[in-house]
Amino acid sequence: MLELENSFGRPLFVRSRTGYRLTSEGALLFNQVLEMEGAARRIETFRQEEGGSTLVRISCGTWLAWWISRNISALQTDTDNFRLDLFIAERRASLAHRESDIGIRAFEPEETNLASQRLGEVAYAAYRARDPGRTTGLRWVAVAEDEAISAYLRYPHEHAAAKIVVTVNRPRSLRDLVLGGAGVAVLPCFVGDQDVRLERVGEEIPSLRHTQWMVMNNDDRHRHDIRTVVDRMSALVRRHADLFAGRRPADPR
């Protein structure tokens, strides 16, 4: 950082006990670098298109990635001239730095360089195994507290901490633990309601309901491959709006 400042002959960072932040000149340089990066990305995309195949990177959480994987044919066909890459993490990827082309978020973006599209509502509920011979009582399973990034992952720690009997470091294992009879877990309704082996414990948890947004970088959102995936993703989620909103509980019959 010192070498960078010396090379420009200007102060770029304000240093304090709590960390670093950009000076006004540092912020100006940062925005110019982003513009350069955007231009470089467009040139790379142009080169890839000429070479025959581009890459569309999608960042999303664990369960949406699970759902997309089950419906991948709705996003990509045999005749498409692009590849897909799923970046799966509870922490959001930065589209500003081009880590992803499309991001799915639980809130509308505040970044001015991002475009957004509302996908609809997502509901959550507690689920247990649908097995009359097995009782889970009030036993809970949860993602470990230091990995509980999302509100639904924090819910058991905030409301049933003393009743948690198993913790894991990844949300993907919660469903398997519930099916194994370990206890109750909070899951998105579009996951729990599709599995006839699961049943809700009580009603939807209203405080966890949120709007889902698809975000793209303003500079890239008109790229043909990105636009194609965005349109298909939007249509796919709209077709399953009731499932995401928790209006289609699984029928055990």
- Domains of the chain and any CATH numbers: 1-51 (no CATH), 53-121+209-253 (3.40.190.10), 124-208 (3.40.190.10)
Q: How far is CA 120 from the centre of its chain?
A: 14
pLDDT in single tens digits along all 253 residues of the chain: 888 888 888 888 888 877 888 898 888 888 788 777 767 766 766 666 555 578 899 999 999 999 999 999 999 999 998 999 998 887 765 655 567 889 998 888 877 778 899 999 999 999 999 875 655 568 999 999 999 989 999 999 999 999 999 999 999 999 999 999 999 999 999 999 999 999 999 999 999 999 999 999 887 788 889 999 999 999 999 999 999 999 976 554 4
Q: What is the pTM of this model?
A: 0.77
- The torsion angle over the Cα atoms of residues 60, 64, 66 and 69, rounded to 10 degrees, is -80
Q: How far apart are CA 252 and CA 61, in angstroms?
A: 28
Contact 58, 84 (CB under 8 A): yes
